[in-house]
Structure 1
Amino acid sequence: MDARILRELIREQKVDFESPGPEGLVERLVERDVLEKVSGLLKLPHVLVISGMRRSGKSTLLKEIRNNFFRDEQVYYLNFEDERLIGFSAGDFNLLYETFIELFGKHRIFFFDEIQNIEGWEHFVRRMYDRGFKFVITGSNSSLLSRELGSKLTGRYVGVELFPFSFGEFLKFRNIPVPEKPLTEERGLIRGAFNEYLEKGGIPEYLRFENSELLKTLYDNILYRDILVRYGLGEEKAFRELALYLFSNYTSEINYSKLQKLLGLGSANTVKNYVGYLENSYMVFTIPRYDYSLKKQIYSPKKVYVIDSAFINLVSFKFSRDRGKLLENLVFLELKRRYREVYFHKGKQECDFIVTENKQPVEAIQVSVSLDDNREREYGGLLEALEAYDLDSGLILTESDEFEEVSRGKTIVVKPIWKWLLELF
């Protein structure tokens, strides 16, 4: 790595990182929901790892972390997405540290953005961590990060996942206040914003410009750079068709063997690997059917969900944009923010989500546009799940219904999705 180029790059990035940005940009720093969790984790000496999809706001979160917790300290910062770092390798980290000291003096805190671009980065982090240095790092590939962290930093790191804006963050971005007890006009504004959020999603850059080309470029970059090139996949056409199929069939069950035949790929295991690559890049998520048998969970069909509704509206076929499915996908994303373990129930009837703690079911949730025409189906699936897992109450989320009643000895709570989304806001 050329030391002169490195010095120039570090200086430029430092100015950008410490600048609040022009008026009106996302860099005005919408406070993210995970900041409270980050606050607690920063008290530990461990490496803090922030992972999430590209353009979900990780770099901006780093600015928030610096402004909130390290304002009076000098921070070394480098974003490894810069194309001038293409020649940077693990052997250049000593030069990087030396250059930091040359420019800014000796300090103890490193902020590294998109660290997964440098193979072997974990060796430097481990060595400096053992000497008492503090690291906050981000990455866009969950599998690469977990493998590298597990091999060299076991027990030395803590992590958080960052998703596109939640509904609460979206309201902050739109400068819409949320009173404790909103009046008619305030409820109207919030519900109007909810409809916009359901359509446009929460990717910060897209919300700023509302240009579909930005979404298309992001989608293509993740598929091509982060997956096809990184993993050396030769079946580009089949892989892109698989991605399109998943984005068009979100909230549905998928079967690897059927997809293998549909796409003409070599084996069901190839399909499974391809889906895994999309999951590692935070583009899609799959959840298994809940079963007390781990083996049955592993081999049962999975349901698939998408990272953001803006991608659904951009990529999927129009006939697949069902409002009920969009609502279910939205609820799933919020469950992923709040919990790690999410499943679905399928017996004689179905229940959309089973939330577990330590692998044991603690909550059952159904999602529906309304209960006007399908109360029997929604109640039936929820009650079957409640009885199967010995739960006393369940939740049905709709667009506007709100009441509570007892059915077959179980308490059924019905509430609007927008209210539920703001409960932890």
Structure 2
Amino acid sequence: MIMLYDFIMNKMVWKARWTGEQIRAMLLEQMEAFWRRDTGIERERLADVERAAALPHAVIVSGLRRVGKSTLLAQMAHRLGQESFYYLNFEDERLLGFAAQDANDLYQTLVEIFGERKIFFLDEVQNVADWERFVRRFMDLGFKFYITGSNASLLSRDLGTRLTGRYVPIELLPFSFREFLVFKNIKIPDGQPLTTTGSALLNASLNEYQRSGGIPEALKYPELSILRTLYDDVLYRDIAARYRLEGVQTLRELAYLLMSNPAGQVNYNKLKAQFQLGSVNTIRSYIESMENSWLLFSIRRFDFSLKRQQIAPKKVYCIDTGLVNAVGFRFSPNSGKLLENLVFLALRRRTRDIFYYITPGGYEVDFYLPETGQFIQVAQDLSSPVTRERETRALEDAAGAMKMERMLILSDRNEDEFRIGDLPVQVRSTAEWLLE
């Protein structure tokens, strides 16, 4: 019934459903609410948005629901000034059915209300069919666009074609560890060596960050079940409804399995058998839809053969460890895997060229970064001789098989550098490394 209603409403001409006065009231309400919203702590990605301000390109901020995209836009808007831009929020149900051909009429109303301006802020633009057409046309007329969306197709190759390469993609993730500390009003180390007490307090903050995650609204209102609601919205609105999936039960069970096993390897054929599906493509499409909605990320196993990369199991990470703790199944704290998930998210902020590696001896190295020739192992602590031997054994085997520049072990404290053959191996505090 809901899908039929959406179909009928989208088929109706948008402007025919509202009087001119109602449209003007909506635009004024949206602008006022946007300008008055709490801009929170300054996001690290604001610097990237500001750097793109002088370019004629559209700035496209993409990420999970409630991750702070609108707040990031508001922070940029306050840099520019209230009289410099137009704002439209396409999550507003009053804009349901708005299409590219309605842009001229809406622009005329905006000019009547606010006067001539050359900057647009567009929120959740994926709700507008063929939005790229009017954005490209207005860009050709000299307008600047700042755009948010909750679907990874906003950063796809197809988008590059539709906007003829004239956009700057910015991926917004939940709070980094540094942003988390700022939000919590916890003093950030100044780069000087930490005392034993200082190191212990920083590790305690890291443990809290690992439990709570970095979704701003969930941190602001911990008494509410925001993470659970967010998870359901992504599954049912961003995935099941958007992709018109019929197997919602399978989607829910698969998502639950993956959320319960962060940093785990997934084999599509085994999952196909486990869920009794006829084709591995169903599993593949469900996981891709979760990635497109920013719920999960997957990385490949590094191999010089692209074919072997494609058929090898992938490792899956969640967008937020707080989300894992809120919705996943745990019979133990699983803190080692959650820590690895945090390290992945930190690496993702720096590069997308991330792999895991299986050595000739069958040992796993958590991360390999081809750009820097670096292997990274993550261990909760190295106090156990068994753990230390396991982590270094994998690196030793990797060193004998791969040409690399350096190795890093992330753990609970800094230790003296040592060598494997001619290669230096750093042992760093994960908490301090996350603040770099």
- TM-score above 0.5, yes or no: yes
> How many Å apart are 1:257 and its aligned residue?
1.1
Q: Secondary structure at the match of 1:29?
A: coil
Match of 1:356 in 2: 370
Superposition pairs for residues 353-392 of structure 1, below 5 Å? 353-357=367-371, 362-371=373-382, 372=384, 373-392=386-405
Match of 1:414 in 2: 427
> How many Å apart are 1:72 and its aligned residue?
6.7
> How many Å apart are 1:88 and its aligned residue?
1.8
Structure 2 length-normalised TM: 0.91
Superposition pairs for residues 275-290 of structure 1, below 5 Å? 275-290=287-302
Superposition pairs for residues 283-298 of structure 1, below 5 Å? 283-298=295-310
Q: Deviations over 1:225-258 (max 9, x none)?
A: 1110010100010110010011112211111111
Structure 1 length-normalised TM: 0.93
* Counterpart-to-counterpart distance in 1, 2:167 and 2:401: 38
Tell me if 1:247 matches 2:247.
no
Match of 1:199 in 2: 211
Q: Secondary structure at the match of 1:319?
A: coil
Q: Given the superposition, is the C-alpha separation of residues 72 and 314 from structure 1 closer, same or farther in structure 2, using an over 3 Å criterion? A: closer
Identity %, equivalent residues: 47
* Counterpart-to-counterpart distance in 2, 1:392 and 1:121: 45
> How many Å apart are 1:385 and its aligned residue?
2.7
> How many Å apart are 1:147 and its aligned residue?
5.6
Q: Given the superposition, is the C-alpha separation of residues 97 and 28 from structure 1 closer, same or farther in structure 2, using an over 3 Å criterion? A: closer
User: Which consecutive residues of structure 1, in runs of 5 or more, have no partner in the other structure?
Assistant: 22-26
The amino acid that maps onto 1:283 is L
The amino acid that maps onto 1:398 is S
User: Which consecutive residues of structure 2, in runs of 5 or more, have no partner in the other structure?
Assistant: 1-14
Tell me if 1:17 matches 2:34.
yes
Q: Secondary structure at the match of 1:374?
A: helix
The amino acid that maps onto 1:211 is E
Query: Which one is further off, 389-398 or 144-153?
Result: 144-153
Q: Deviations over 1:189-238 (max 9, x none)?
A: 43322111010000000000013521111100110011100101000101
Query: Which one is further off, 157-166 or 186-195?
Result: 186-195
Q: Secondary structure at the match of 1:318?
A: coil
- For the aligned residue pairs, the C-alpha RMSD in angstroms reads 1.7
* Counterpart-to-counterpart distance in 1, 2:189 and 2:269: 50
> How many Å apart are 1:148 and its aligned residue?
5.2
1:219 to 231, 247, 254: 231
Match of 1:398 in 2: 411
Match of 1:24 in 2: none
The amino acid that maps onto 2:136 is R
Q: Secondary structure at the match of 2:432?
A: helix
CA contact (8 A) 1:249 1:320 kept: no
Q: Secondary structure at the match of 1:175?
A: coil
Match of 2:141 in 1: 131
Q: Secondary structure at the match of 1:164?
A: coil
> How many Å apart are 1:389 and its aligned residue?
2.8
The amino acid that maps onto 1:394 is M
> How many Å apart are 1:401 and its aligned residue?
4.5
> How many Å apart are 1:402 and its aligned residue?
2.5
Query: Which one is further off, 369-378 or 105-114?
Result: 369-378
The amino acid that maps onto 1:249 is N
CA contact (8 A) 1:50 1:161 kept: yes
* Counterpart-to-counterpart distance in 2, 1:148 and 1:82: 26
